[in-house]
Structure formats: C-alpha cells, structure tokens
Chain A
Amino acid sequence: MTNLSGILDVLALGPLLAIFGGVALGIVFGSIPGLTATMAVALCLPLTFGVEPVTALSLLVGLYIGGISGGLITAILLNIPGTPSSIATAFDGYPMSQRGEGGKALGIAILFSFLGTLVGCAVLFLVAPPLARIALKFGSFEYFAIAVFALTLVAGLSGGNMAKGIVSTLIGLLAAMIGLAPVDAYTRFTFGLPALDGGLSLLPVLLGMFAVSEVLKFAEQTLQGRVDRAPRFAMTGFFGLTGPEFRSYLPNFARSSAIGVAVGLLPGIGAASSNLLAYMAARSASHDPKSFGKGNPQGLVASESANNAGIGAAMVPLMALGIPGDSVTALMLGGFLIHGIQPGPLLFATNGPLVYSIFTALVLAAVVMLALEYWGIRLFIRILSVPKHYLLSIVLVMCVVGAFAANNRMFDVWTLFAFGLLGYAMLRFDYPFAPLILGFILGPMIEENLRSALMSTRGDFLPILERPVAAIFLGLAVCYLVGYTVSRIVRMRRERKSGQAARQE
C-alpha cells in the first residue's frame, strides 16, 4: 500500500509538471554543445528548495534523463556531441545525416535512448541493494584492471590505422598527466602556471576537439567542396525502423545496455566512457566492422543504449549506499540532503514510498523524453537548413560559455582553443580523436589505482593477479590484444596474397 502511495505521489500535477519541464530543459542543455546535464542539475538545484521532496526529485530526475539524451541531437546533425555521453553517437549518426538519413538516425537514437533508460530503471528497481554492495567491493586492483581493459579496446576507435590510434591515446594520457600527480601530488608538466595545477577539465578538451575543429574544418572548405545544403529528411516506419531491423539490433542493445549498467554502477567512470566502450564492443562483435564510422546504425544503438542505461545504474550506489557515482548524482545527493532525505541502505526501509516515487519519476521522465524528442525531430532537423556560417559561429560562442562556466575562469576557454587547434591538426594529419578522449578519461584512473594498489602491496604486482575480477579483466585485455593482432596479420597476408594473384592474372 505504501508503495502504491509513492507511485501516486508522482502522478500529481506538481511532479508531472516538474518532470515535463525538467526533461525539456535537460534536452535543451544536452543538445547545446558546452552545456551538460551536470550544469542543468546544478543550475536548477536552488529551484527545488521550496517545493515538496517528490516534486524536487522529479525535476532533478527529468533534467538528468533529458540532459544525457539531448546530446544525441547535435551529435547526429552537426557532428558535435552535445555532451560527453554522446561522443560515439556522432561517429555513425553524422554520416547517416549527411547521406539524407538524419530522421532515421534521430529516430533510432531516440528509441534506444528510451529503451536503455528503461533497462537502467529496471536494474535500479529490481536489484539495487545487492548490486551496490558488489560494486562497493571493487577496489584499486579492480578499477586498474577495468581501465586497462577499456584502454585496450581503443583498437575499435582507430579507424583502420592502429599506430595512429595508439598515438592519439598516448596524447590523451599525457594531457591527463598535466597537474598534480595522484597519490603524492607531485606537480607535473605545469610550466610554472598555477592554473595548470588542477589539470585540464574534460569539457573544454572535448569541445575543443570536436566543436572548434569542426568550425575550422568548415572554414577550410572552398565553395566547390562545400556541402551546405540541408540533407533530405527521411523517417519511415516505427522510429525509422522496420521490424527485422529492430530485431537485428537487439543483441547489440542488450550488450550495450549491460556495458552502460556496469559502468554506471561503478563510481567514477561515467557515461563519457560507457558510450565509447559500448561502441567499441559493438564494432568488435560486428561481422562488418569497416562499416562503423560510415553510418552504421548499430553504432548509434550501442552509444545511446549504453549512456542512458547508465542513468538508472548510476542511481543504484546513490540510493542504496549514499555514494554518488558521477557529478550529476553528486548534485542529486545534495538535492536529497536538502530535503532531509539520507540515501543509504536505510532509505529503502524508512522511506519506501519515496523510493517508489523516484522509480516512477524515472520511468515517466523516460516516456516524456521519448515523446518530446520524437515530436521534436522535425524541429531538430530544421537546424540543418540554417546556413552553417550562422550556426557554427553561435555554437562556438556556446562552447566558450560552457568552457568558462565549467570553473568560472578564462583558462578553460584557452584550453578549448588549444585543443581546437590540436583537433584540427589531427584532422589534417589523419589521426582519430576518440582514442585521445578515452585516454584522457581513463589515464588518471589507471595511474591512480595502480599506484594505490602498489602502495598497499609494497610494490608487488602479483597480488593484483590474485584478485579474481582484476585477473579476469587483465586476461581479457591480453586476449583481446593478441586476438586483434593475429587477425590483423592474417588479414594483411590474405590481402597481400590476393593482390599478388590479381597482378599475376
């Protein structure tokens, strides 16, 4: 009965309006490069002070879901991810949009965002406490092994040239080393600039690489080389999909959602890496990996299922243990505490109706997100008909605002500019961007956890291998690298042989 009252609490006018408004505003924040779900929640948190807890949490949940999902719009239409959680969405979404399938790409991305969110909600609803306890058992050893495994998957993002993919990853790792080193706080590569002591923020780096370089790429095009016309809008069937197509995406959806849930459960990894990991896994599992990056809808399915499945999963440690997994859930923890709600194991026992209210708000927010984005497709697609010299100039200003707002300092705006130049140089020299971003995110995780682990084992590496989870992930990393190398060698030999045979003929 108490559970039912929790569900009914959300079905009142106030919470419903909060969900609708939160999702709508979240989508706007998510879709504008430079503005993120974290920023939306941070800016709206003060608005929740004077309202009922259920209404406040409904608003925050709506902002979270809208903010994560909204990033797909500019990723698909402009090749500029609105948020870090939709980096991989741009890889195949933009090529689809360029060949006139923007409507279909948006339809697929929106549908799988919705389905991914439902998977995350189901995880939160069904197995929150036991899963949270398992996630909490993961220590430095396990985090180190998981990050190493994730980094080895970079081959899937290299775009055919493995050496250049590795170089891109290494540049990301080096960029992440700027500032205070983990464990002993040694100041590295700061060139005496105090602004560099705290290291570089992800948002300016990401926006520089993707948005500023996109502006410069557009600037270099001559009138003859410019593709400025709006591609044809095309979306037929159910979200642009036929029945067989939908069924063929289900294994990828299941795998990607599982990756999103796993990453969401583990505090500190975040949706920025889950979409890339799911994309790489989908590419590796595909029979046609070469089609990825050229407009394969499976890439969209992987990215959007993973980032949205992580939402419900990221709330598992928050609600079951009171531990926020990322910056958005950290702000939501603030929202809980402001209203006198203490998340943790007792929340489920002492505040059962509220827990059910949050579950209900999550599901309703997912439905509102689906409806708003589906009906908004025709509006979004009109972005493409705005001449790019208007659009990209305003996008650049939004990026500057977003970079500045990250820490309220001009230094981050200069970081955006510097990484924009680096991104453009990498574009000209045919180096892929995505491995750099993955190296930048995972590098500190690898170093910090390995150093913490080795401190606890007095410098001995063997105890790491005695931990089952860590050993499994390190083993998987080795297997993947060996398998990938062998398959590349076999393919090269086969191609050489077929080339020789063709020449002899």
Chain B
Amino acid sequence: MTSSARDLLSSILLCALGVAVHLDARTIVPRFKTGVDSGLFPEVVSAVLVVMAAIIALSAVREMRRKPPVDGAPGEPAEEGPVNRARVWGAVAVTALYIAAMPLTGFLAATMVFLFAQMCLLAQPSERRWLVFALVAVVAAIAIHLIFVRGFGLPLPRGIF
C-alpha cells in the first residue's frame, strides 16, 4: 500500500470516528444554564477531527492523481519495505491471550507461558534456543513475582485455581 493510500484509508476511519463521536455528543443533555455543557467539547473536537481528516484525504487524493515525473525519477514509494505481518498478529494474539488468562491462571503461570511464547515468536528461526527460552521464562517470571509480591507487597492476580 502506498503512503497516499494509507493516508486515504486512515482519513476515512478518522472521519467515521469523528461523525460517531459528534452524533453521540449531541445527545448529551445540558445540566447547567450558564457556561458550557459536557457536550460542547466533544462536539467541537469531533467536528475539527472530521475537517482534519478531510484535509488529509484531499491531499492524499491530490498526491495519487499527480503524475510521476517525466524525467524518470522515482515517484512515491510503492511499498513500505519488508514486513512480517504474521509475526505481528502472532505477538498481538499471544499478548491478548496472556492478559485474558492472567485472572484465571494467576500472574506466575501466565507470565511463564507468555514469556516463552513471546520469545519464540520474536526471535528469528536461527536465534531460537528452546531450553534457554524456557529457563529465562521461568526465572524471570519467578523473579518479578517475588520482587513485587513479596518485596513490595503488590497484589498481582493470583488466579482462581
């Protein structure tokens, strides 16, 4: 995706957000007769958001329409470089599962599994050392747990088991 296409897509999403917030803000009922009510700020901010999104969209469209230079110089870069999307989605999923599991399994167990999974995911295939990852995951999770729960008395999630 080119940067202009990304700008266009983001401006459409922002415009939708602005409109949704604006419509919701208009339902806010004023409680005081003087001054400004709780709906004014969200209304103004969302309206400006829509305007700014329109400006970004317009400049993106103008950029897309502009012909590449005739002298053969490169125009807009077509793609933003090599990106490993699968690993990003994997990191997102592992983190979400970690947060969801923590209240059930407790901080210690969830953190051990998370650290192991996240290190496996973030490391390149040539860098994977399963045993070292497992050891680091267990030691780091226990150390963090001991420091915060025993050392500072912070109540981290204990789980239901």
The number of chain A residues with a CB under 8 A from chain B is: 62
Q: Please determine whether B83 and A186 come into contact, CB atoms closer than 8 angstroms.
A: no
What's the nearest-Cβ distance from chain A to residue B145, in Å?
Answer: 9
Q: Please determine whether B10 and A431 come into contact, CB atoms closer than 8 angstroms.
A: yes
Q: Please determine whether A173 and B88 come into contact, CB atoms closer than 8 angstroms.
A: no
A388–B123 Cα distance when bound, in Å, is 8
Known contacts: A216-B88, A222-B82, A390-B119. The answer to whether A417 contacts B99 by CB under 8 A is yes
Flag A154-171 by CB within 8 Å of B: 1 or 0 each: 000000000110110011
Chain A CB within 8 A of B92 CB: yes
Chain B CB within 8 A of A421 CB: yes
Interface residue from B56, B141, B155 paired with A164 (Cβ < 8 Å)? B56
Q: Which residues of B contact A393 (CB under 8 A)?
A: 114-115, 118-119, 122
A164–B52 Cα distance when bound, in Å, is 8
Known contacts: A219-B87, A455-B32. The answer to whether A174 contacts B45 by CB under 8 A is yes
Q: Please determine whether A451 and B49 come into contact, CB atoms closer than 8 angstroms.
A: no
Q: Please determine whether A396 and B119 come into contact, CB atoms closer than 8 angstroms.
A: no
Q: Which residues of A contact B34 (CB under 8 A)?
A: 454-455, 458-459
Which of A100-108, A246-254, A408-416, A470-478 binds B? A408-416
The number of chain B residues with a CB under 8 A from chain A is: 70
A46–B39 Cα distance when bound, in Å, is 43
Chain A CB within 8 A of B121 CB: yes
Most buried by B among A215, A400, A451: A400
Chain B CB within 8 A of A392 CB: yes
Chain B CB within 8 A of A397 CB: yes
A447–B155 Cα distance when bound, in Å, is 35
A220–B9 Cα distance when bound, in Å, is 20
Q: Please determine whether B144 and A401 come into contact, CB atoms closer than 8 angstroms.
A: yes
Interface residue from B28, B81, B92 paired with A421 (Cβ < 8 Å)? B92
Q: Please determine whether A401 and B102 come into contact, CB atoms closer than 8 angstroms.
A: no
A164–B90 Cα distance when bound, in Å, is 29
Known contacts: A219-B88, A219-B122, A401-B144. The answer to whether A417 contacts B52 by CB under 8 A is no
Q: Please determine whether A163 and B140 come into contact, CB atoms closer than 8 angstroms.
A: no
Q: Please determine whether A163 and B52 come into contact, CB atoms closer than 8 angstroms.
A: yes
Chain A CB within 8 A of B37 CB: yes
Q: Please determine whether A174 and B37 come into contact, CB atoms closer than 8 angstroms.
A: no
Chain A CB within 8 A of B106 CB: no
Chain A CB within 8 A of B67 CB: no
Chain A's closest residue to B114 (CB) is: A397
Q: Please determine whether A170 and B45 come into contact, CB atoms closer than 8 angstroms.
A: yes
Chain B CB within 8 A of A375 CB: no
Q: Please determine whether B37 and A184 come into contact, CB atoms closer than 8 angstroms.
A: yes
Q: Please determine whether B95 and A212 come into contact, CB atoms closer than 8 angstroms.
A: yes
Main secondary structure of the interface of B (DSSP, over half): helix
Q: Which residues of B contact A450 (CB under 8 A)?
A: 36
Chain A CB within 8 A of B157 CB: yes
Q: Which residues of B contact A378 (CB under 8 A)?
A: none
Q: Please determine whether A225 and B82 come into contact, CB atoms closer than 8 angstroms.
A: yes
Q: Which residues of B contact A222 (CB under 8 A)?
A: 82-84
A222–B79 Cα distance when bound, in Å, is 15
Chain B CB within 8 A of A230 CB: no
A170–B45 Cα distance when bound, in Å, is 6
Chain A CB within 8 A of B146 CB: no
Known contacts: A219-B90, A389-B123. The answer to whether A184 contacts B83 by CB under 8 A is no
Chain A CB within 8 A of B24 CB: yes
Chain A CB within 8 A of B136 CB: yes
What's the nearest-Cβ distance from chain B to residue A424, in Å?
Answer: 8
Q: Please determine whether A174 and B36 come into contact, CB atoms closer than 8 angstroms.
A: no
What's the nearest-Cβ distance from chain A to residue B95, in Å?
Answer: 6
Chain A's closest residue to B141 (CB) is: A397
Chain A CB within 8 A of B109 CB: no
Q: Please determine whether B115 and A224 come into contact, CB atoms closer than 8 angstroms.
A: no
Flag A29-42 by CB within 8 Å of B: 1 or 0 each: 00000000000000
Q: Please determine whether A430 and B49 come into contact, CB atoms closer than 8 angstroms.
A: no
A492–B131 Cα distance when bound, in Å, is 58
Q: Please determine whether A410 and B122 come into contact, CB atoms closer than 8 angstroms.
A: no
A174–B22 Cα distance when bound, in Å, is 11
Known contacts: A222-B83, A389-B127, A454-B35. The answer to whether A170 contacts B102 by CB under 8 A is no
Q: Please determine whether A43 and B84 come into contact, CB atoms closer than 8 angstroms.
A: no
A220–B90 Cα distance when bound, in Å, is 10
Flag A174-192 by CB within 8 Å of B: 1 or 0 each: 1001000101101011000
Chain B CB within 8 A of A287 CB: no
Q: Which residues of B contact A398 (CB under 8 A)?
A: 144
Q: Please determine whether A389 and B119 come into contact, CB atoms closer than 8 angstroms.
A: yes
What's the nearest-Cβ distance from chain B to residue A163, in Å?
Answer: 5
Q: Please determine whether A219 and B91 come into contact, CB atoms closer than 8 angstroms.
A: yes
Q: Which residues of A contact B56 (CB under 8 A)?
A: 163-164, 167
Q: Please determine whether A387 and B99 come into contact, CB atoms closer than 8 angstroms.
A: no
Chain A CB within 8 A of B130 CB: no
A-B contacts, 11 of them at CB < 8 A, read: A166-B48, A166-B52, A170-B45, A184-B31, A220-B84, A220-B88, A390-B119, A397-B141, A401-B156, A450-B36, A451-B35
Partner-B contacts on A (CB < 8 A): 43, 163-164, 166-167, 170-171, 173-174, 177, 181, 183-184, 186, 188-189, 212, 215-216, 218-226, 387-390, 392-394, 396-398, 400-401, 404-405, 408, 410, 413-414, 417, 420-421, 424, 428-431, 443, 447, 450-451, 454-455, 458-459
Nearest first, the 3 closest Cβ-Cβ pairs linking A and B are A454-B35, A181-B38, A389-B122
Given A401-B144, A443-B41, 18 more A-B residue pairs with CB atoms under 8 Å apart are A183-B35, A189-B24, A212-B95, A216-B88, A222-B84, A225-B82, A389-B123, A394-B115, A397-B144, A398-B144, A404-B156, A408-B155, A421-B92, A428-B80, A429-B9, A429-B10, A447-B41, A455-B34
